[in-house]
């Protein structure tokens, strides 16, 4: 209780002092709103990122096409120095050239599935009975030795489906937002631990050991194709990577992530002792000519003598998974950030500080694009050795939680920024953006900045069907994008960027984090 | 108001007189509940109907497999005279032997779709750019003449998707059931007409004319494949037939019903002038060696000298659509009816009246199985010429509204049956079955009986995800079945059948309907 009181009192003191300088210019807000809400190009941008360029898996041809399009588009809008900036070595690119699978026994049924990222193809059409692998221990695997060459196999696992008693679609209720607003700052890395953590951990380690042994055996036995249960249902499947993208990755087996219904259908038949035969044809390509990773970078240069070397950065990750076109993860955030830049150019804004957009790659594999950009330009979170430029970034704003409109902002523990942002949100309260929460949110690129002491923020967004349908799924398509929400977000972010670039002082900073030695 | 008062007063009078003879035997109810709820075979039956035998499209190999299995299973349970009874000529059977389609330009993407029933295949793999057909009038089609041979085409139609703000899953609220209970009887054929019906009809006629002209042109031009927008979303698609099953049906073009996301993706690209190329391979088979239709019939013979020639019939349609295994439409109803018969055999019930199960075919094409069965055995609704057996059927009970448990029964205007059924439902009120509604429900096989004056009833069932996900969709799979709901339904129906077979008098009848001359 005392802690929360202190935080509130602190916030109040800042609010008073911040109020005067942080009241947004009503005329500018009006211009930004008009451009963002009435002349939006958000859906055009999103169409190009998704439908036209396709999946944007790290280092895939689709990502390269989209990156080149973005550079061209940002240049056409008049941004300066739009280019691809190398951030280091990623590894191999990969894409699907063909996917087909169907049961042929007990009867024909085409299967909804997706090859796992970075897995090889079947080397032509294959057809085989399906073998169910049952193993409670590594020793159990011995019985399969010498019997699996060229076969299609699946593991004996998969739970019955529970259909959606709740709507797919969610917007935050006022009560939820109020709770968020009352949250106290968390220490970085704060996590709830479950009571029986050790027990669960032991079980998970055992499972992991069996899985690893199965995987090795299947590769050694040269199985034709592995079928894996995909989370999801009703035609929606969630996907991920099935193998390493490293240039020297060991060979693995071809692997399909199969939609829950199709997987469970086969599993029920096999468990009942009924033969299932499958025909499949999977082709995938690997790309290792240029294993480097790139971010898209472009700027609106600052114009104030004293401040033009300082910078406000906005961004979001540009890469996606492969089974759809990554519309909500994260064409949405990329679209909003590009549109925010377009709005600022359209109103012919000449900022004091430089404004930079950064569209990261390889976020999905570990925030590689943003982390390496930060490492190169601003400092090393492991040692906390910082560059002079670290001090020149007023703030980094990120968007990566789907298509939902902005409901507020996560302070990431930076309570001093709260009253400033409260003032900046005020002209957009009517659009549903009201909430300042001291809490952290994770899993995306603002963390790279936060880790070296640069104020890095991610906005609160309505969840929509992000968790139920779109996040890493085969249904993350243009259809999932909500035009009004993207417009709202771009308008608010353009205004935040405007305010950050013009503000006399930089956004206040938290205490510098401690150096983080490499994780065990 | 007066009418409703009259109906209620009438119902009350019957209730008093019905009460004594219609109080169910508590010991028998207990036996039925125990067998139905604790020893259920419902999921075994459903597994065989769906997973093991596959889609059960009228006259397809899958339907024949399932019908043969049902005859064998009913015989094994000790039912008598289990057999397939021919009801007349249906036409050709059809099944999918291969389905594959994917965009190859602007990039590779495998398409979720299903061939429309009774359409031909592509005669081997084809690959073509996709041509968008735009036509506001028949005259507009001239521009395509001579340009479509072997091409993949789609119509310029399709609305943006709206994701599910409501849950997929619904159970009836108490308030809804109360409204149903208060409904007054409807005249047969009662329908609400929209105010601007004529206008809409004219528009629809025009659209239909253009569609027909397009369809004829596409066949004449020998297009390679038509892509059609399928209702649904997120991997779920609803399907139907695309051509006639008549033995002398005219040739039509191959046609795929494409999931909404995949269709709209291609449509947006084409509308933006961006080329799309598709490769596809569709094989389908037609079966015309035996064009006759069959129903599965089996009995538990009556044992009472006076009453054994009378009959209680239960049934549901056994056929399904082709894109999944028809789990909720209507393996669920067929399962429940088979399980009800199994329960009655398991408790060694010797009924006074004969109990018959009828699993209809070709319901999906127009209640053909049940209508022709009724025509042969009981009478002709067109002339109302009735057979002597028409008087011997006490009641027909049907189930065909998905996997949801029974919440009550539709009286189909037969208010005199209300108090009887109210008594029979009483021992199952604790399982959620409480509601008697005077209203009609349509679209399935009880109507065949009602049309010749035999009391025909369909139960009220919780809708679940029938309307949002399963009804005629590619996701109507075993996974959608709710075990507890199927058990409840089978238990209640077994009890209704018990009561009907033992009741001194037959179920009261409505006035005979008027003869219905052939529709214009």
pLDDT 10s digits, B108-155:
999 999 999 999 999 999 999 999 999 888 888 899 999 999 999 999
Task: Judge: A477–B168 Cβ closer than 8 Å, yes or no.
Answer: no
Q: B169 and A165: CB-CB below 8 Å?
A: yes
CB spacing of B106 vs A264 below 8 angstroms: no
Between B501 and B516, residue with greater pLDDT: B501
pLDDT at B11: 44
Q: Quick one: A157 and A261 in the same domain? A: yes
Looking at the partner chain, which of A47, A55, A236 has a beta carbon nearest the beta carbon of B268? Answer: A47
Residue numbers in A near B43 (CB within 8 A): none
Beta bridge partners of A228: A257
Q: What pLDDT sits at residue B338?
A: 98
User: How close, in Å, is residue A172 to chain B by CA atoms?
Assistant: 13
Say which of B98, B107, B469 has its CB closest to residue A234.
B469
Q: Which of A52, A272, A480 sits opposite B163 (nearest CB)?
A: A480
For testing contact with chain B, the best of A261, A463, A486 (most B CBs within 10 A): A261
Inside any domain, residue A24: no
Q: Which residues contact B166 (CB under 8 A, 6 or more apart)?
A: A167, B468
CA distance B413 to A199: 62
Distances (CA, A) of B239 to B259, B322, B469: 10, 8, 12
Minimum Cα–Cα distance from B60: chain A residue: A107
pLDDT value of position B6: 38
Give the closest residue to A226 by CA, choosing from A238, A234, A237, A217: A217
**How confident is the model at residue A6, as a pLDDT?**
38
Collapsing DSSP to helix, strand or coil, A435 comes out as: strand
Domain boundary among B287, B309, B331: B287
Q: Do B55 and A272 touch (CB under 8 A)?
A: no
Give the C-alpha separation, A243 to A253, whole Å: 9
Most A CBs within 10 Å: which of B479, B482, B483, B486, as the mutation test of the A interface?
B479
Q: Which residues of B touch A97 (CB under 8 A)?
A: 108
As a whole number, mean pLDDT of residues B466-485 equals: 96
Domain count, chain B: 2
B479–A161 CB contact, under 8 Å: yes
Give the integer Cα–Cα distance in Å for A181 and A178. Answer: 5
Q: Which of B109, B474, B477 sits opposite A265 (nearest CB)?
A: B477
Q: Name the band, by pLDDT with cuts 50, 70 and 90, for residue B519.
A: low
Note whether B100 and B145 are same-domain residues.
yes
Chain A residue at shortest CA distance from B280: A100
Q: Is the residue at B248 inside a domain?
A: yes
Residues 6+ apart with CB under 8 A from B371: B448, B451
- Looking at the fold, whether A335 and A404 belong to one and the same domain comes out as yes
Q: In angstroms, rounded to a whole number, what is the distance separating the alpha carbons of residues B404 and B172?
A: 10
- Give the span between the Cα atoms of A334 and A357, in whole angstroms: 10
- A465/B160 touch (CB, cutoff 8 Å), yes or no: no
pLDDT band at B186 (very low <50, low <70, confident <90, very high): confident
User: Which ipTM did the prediction report?
Assistant: 0.92
pLDDT of residue A210: 87
B464 and B398, same structural domain?
Answer: yes
Same domain for B217 and B354, yes or no, is no
Are B109 and B230 in the same domain?
yes
Nearest to B160 among A108, A168, A479 (CB): A479
pLDDT given at position B504: 95
A470 belongs to a structural domain: yes
Considering chain A, what is the average pLDDT of its residues?
92
B297 inside domain = yes
Phi, psi angle pair for B119, to nearest 5°: -100, 155
Q: Chain A interface, mutation test: which of B107, B326, B486, most A Cβ atoms within 10 Å?
A: B107
- Coil, strand or helix: which one is B350? coil
A265 shares a domain with A322: no
How close B518 gets to chain A, by Cα (Å)? Answer: 40
> What's the CA gap between A397 and A441, in Å, rounded?
13
Question: Chain B partners of A480 at a C-beta cutoff of 8 Å?
Answer: 163
C-beta atoms of A478 and B265 within 8 A: yes
pLDDT over threshold 80, residue B286:
yes
A237 & A350 share domain: no
Q: What is the pLDDT of residues B11-33, one digit of tens each?
A: 444 444 445 679 999 999 999 99
Substitution target from B51, B96, B326 for chain A, most A beta carbons within 10 A: B51
- CA gap B34, B20 in Å, rounded: 25
Is A180 within a domain? Answer: no
If chain A, 520 residues long, is cut into consecutive pieces of 10 residues, what is the mean pLDDT of each piece?
Answer: 36 48 92 98 98 98 98 98 98 98 98 97 98 89 94 90 79 88 71 56 83 91 96 93 92 96 97 98 97 98 98 98 97 98 98 98 97 98 97 98 96 96 97 94 93 97 93 97 97 98 97 78
Nearest chain A CA: its distance from B296 CA (Å): 22
User: Exposed, middle or buried by CB within 10 Å (0-12, 13-18, 19+), for B425?
Assistant: buried
The pLDDT score that the predictor gives to residue B86 is 98
Domain CATH number, residue B77: 3.40.630.10
Strands A292-300 and A406-410, bridge-based pairing: unpaired
Task: Retrieve residue A162's tokens.
Answer: 């529970």
Of B100, B167, B464, Cβ closest to residue A167: B167
Mean pLDDT of chain B: 92
In the 8-state DSSP scheme, what is residue B518? P
Q: Of the residues B268, B287, B306, which one is the last residue of a structural domain?
A: B287
Q: What's the CATH code of the domain at A144?
A: 3.50.30.30
Q: What share of chain B is helix, strand, coil (3-state, %, to 5)?
A: 40, 20, 40
- Give yes or no: residues B50 and B103 share one domain: no
- From A250, A265, A285, the end of a domain falls on A285
Q: How far is B262 from chain A (nearest CA, A)?
A: 9
State the pLDDT confidence band at B167, using cuts at 50, 70 and 90: confident
Is A437 part of a structural domain of the chain? yes
Domain range spanning residue B133? 94-168+204-287
Cα–Cα dist B265/A51, whole Å: 6
Interface-testing mutation among A44, A51, A474, with chain B (most B C-beta atoms within 10 A)? A51
Q: Is A517 domain-assigned?
A: no
**Per-residue confidence (pLDDT) for residue B518, from 0 to 100:** 62
Contacts of B107 in chain A (CB under 8 A): 53-55, 61-62, 95
- B98 and B70 share a domain? no
- State whether A237 and A341 are in the same domain: no
Considering CB atoms only, which of A112, A167, A259 is closest to B166?
A: A167
Q: B190 lies in a domain?
A: no
CB contact under 8 A, A62 and B259: no
Same domain, B212 and B312: no
CB contact under 8 A, B108 and A100: no
């Amino acid at each position: 209780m005392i802690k929360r009181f202190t935080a509130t009192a602190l916030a109040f003191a800042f609010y008073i002092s911040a109020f005067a300088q942080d009241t947004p210019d009503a005329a500018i807000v009006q211009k930004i709103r008009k451009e963002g809400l009435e002349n939006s190009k958000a859906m055009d941008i999103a169409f190009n990122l998704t439908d036209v360029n396709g999946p944007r898996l790290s280092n895939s041809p689709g990502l390269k096409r989209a990156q080149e399009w973005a550079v061209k588009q940002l240049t056409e809008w008049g941004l300066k120095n739009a280019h691809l900036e190398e951030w280091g070595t990623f590894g191999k690119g990969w894409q699907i050239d063909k996917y087909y699978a169907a049961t042929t026994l007990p009867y024909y049924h085409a299967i909804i599935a997706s090859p796992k990222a970075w897995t090889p193809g079947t080397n032509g059409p294959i057809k085989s009975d399906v073998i169910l692998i049952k193993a409670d221990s590594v020793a159990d695997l011995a019985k399969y030795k010498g019997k699996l060459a060229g076969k299609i196999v699946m593991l004996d696992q998969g739970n019955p489906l529970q259909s959606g008693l709740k709507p797919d679609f969610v917007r935050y209720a006022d009560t939820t937002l109020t709770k968020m607003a009352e949250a106290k700052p968390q220490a970085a890395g704060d996590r709830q631990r479950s009571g029986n953590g050790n027990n669960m951990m032991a079980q998970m380690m055992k499972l992991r050991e069996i899985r690893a042994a199965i995987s090795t055996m299947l590769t050694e036995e040269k199985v034709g194709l592995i079928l894996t249960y995909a989370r999801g249902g009703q035609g929606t499947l969630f996907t991920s990577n099935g193998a390493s993208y490293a240039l020297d990755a060991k060979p693995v087996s071809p692997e399909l992530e199969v939609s829950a219904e199709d997987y469970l259908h086969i599993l029920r038949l096999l468990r009942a002792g009924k033969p299932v035969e499958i025909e499949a044809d999977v082709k995938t390509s690997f790309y290792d000519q240029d294993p480097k990773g790139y971010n898209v970078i472009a700027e609106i240069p600052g114009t104030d003598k004293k401040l033009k070397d300082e910078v406000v950065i906005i961004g979001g990750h540009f890469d996606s998974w492969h089974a759809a076109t990554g519309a909500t993860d994260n064409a949405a955030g990329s679209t909003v950030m590009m549109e925010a830049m377009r709005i600022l150019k359209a109103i012919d804004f000449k900022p004091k500080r430089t404004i930079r957009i950064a569209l990261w790659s390889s976020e999905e594999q570990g925030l590689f694009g943003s982390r390496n950009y930060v490492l190169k330009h601003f400092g090393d979170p492991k040692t906390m050795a910082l560059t002079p430029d670290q001090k020149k970034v007023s703030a980094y704003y990120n968007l990566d939680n789907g298509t939902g409109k902005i409901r507020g902002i996560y302070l990431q523990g930076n309570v001093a920024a709260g009253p400033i942002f409260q003032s900046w949100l005020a002209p957009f309260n009517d659009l549903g953006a009201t909430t300042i929460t001291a809490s952290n949110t994770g899993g995306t690129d603002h963390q790279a900045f936060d880790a070296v002491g640069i104020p890095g923020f991610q906005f609160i967004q309505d969840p929509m069907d992000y968790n139920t349908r779109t996040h890493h799924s085969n249904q993350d398509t243009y259809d999932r994008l909500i035009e009004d929400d993207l417009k709202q977000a771009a308008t608010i972010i353009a205004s935040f960027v405007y305010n950050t670039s013009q503000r006399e002082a930089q956004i206040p900073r938290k205490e510098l984090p401690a150096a983080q030695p490499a994780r065990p």
